[in-house]
Amino acid sequence: MKNIALYCADPKRIREAEKLAADLKLNLLTSPPLPADTLALTGRRLELRRSGESEPIFVDFANPKLLYRLKHISIKKEAIARAVGLKKMKTPPVLDATAGLGRDSFILAALGCRVIMVERSPIIAALLADGLLRAAATARIASICRRMTLYQADSRFFSLPPDFRPGVIYLDPMYPARSKSAMVKKEMRCLRDIAGDDPDSGALLDWALARKVNRVAVKRPKGAKNLADRQPSFVIKSRKHRFDVYLAVHQTAMDDNLKALEF
């Protein structure tokens, strides 16, 4: 996605927009004409507007679909919960090393996990930060968002806060580009246009497997090859995806070259 600009026509938010534009190294526009792809700071939210798309992309943890899912949420029902090893009285701290728009992290936080999210695309991280800020002001979900902390960085080169020792690293890198494009959801298409194809996802798995954690869980499309050709300890299947789970014991046996590293 080239030529993206930040657009803000709300005089009350201009200062904020100036700071955001400087942080993201984008041109700030306060009136049309606008480029085809625009990050817009409105009175309500930060959103990405794309040519050819009728709806903007933004993070909304209070959307009705997600609220409905929350109402009926349970460890048993959520394959992701089983993938990270959640039990009723056991909610491991999770490092979501590919945060994206934060939906998976939100589900884990709703189930009680403290989650640190790391997202390397500055634009995607800005959309997520804005969603978290609005969620923090929404009574029904504020307590969930208090368990979520976002950093903009490449996970492989990021130092975690000293008081956070993850039990689990969760990875959901971009799906292989050959996924049938018409079926790939709009948000995912957009994430890929902004962040690219994550060609280093194999290296990210190797990095994760070398950390001192109990498990690494990787979300994959059905039928996709194992990441970095590494055989998981076990697989959890869900309706749309599968989760490849690598247990710590298994890792050491699998590859003697991988020495467990502290963060």
Ligand X SMILES: C[S@@+](CC[C@H](N)C(=O)[O-])C[C@H]1O[C@@H](n2cnc3c(N)ncnc32)[C@H](O)[C@@H]1O
Residue numbers of the site for ligand X (CB under 6 A)?
Answer: 97-98, 100-104, 118-121, 124, 154-156, 172-174, 191, 195, 198, 204
Q: Pick between residue 29 and residue 129 the one whose CB is nearest to ligand X.
A: 129
Q: Pick between residue 100 and residue 232 the one whose CB is nearest to ligand X.
A: 100
**What is the nearest approach in angstroms of ligand X to the Cβ of residue 227?**
12
Contact between residue 99 and residue 128 where contact means Cβ atoms under 8 Å apart: yes
Structural element, H or E, at residue 219: strand 215-221
Give residues with Cβ within 8 angstroms of 26, minimum separation 6.
Answer: 4, 5, 6, 20, 39
**What is the nearest approach in angstroms of ligand X to the Cβ of residue 86?**
16
Q: Pick between residue 184 and residue 254 the one whose CB is nearest to ligand X.
A: 184
**What is the nearest approach in angstroms of ligand X to the Cβ of residue 177?**
12
Task: List the one residue out of 146, 160, 141 whose CA is nearest residue 212.
Answer: 160
- CB count within 10 Å of CB 19 equals 11
**What is the nearest approach in angstroms of ligand X to the Cβ of residue 224?**
12
Which residue minimizes CB distance to ligand X? 100
Q: Pick between residue 185 and residue 259 the one whose CB is nearest to ligand X.
A: 185
CA 172/CA 238 separation, integer angstroms = 14
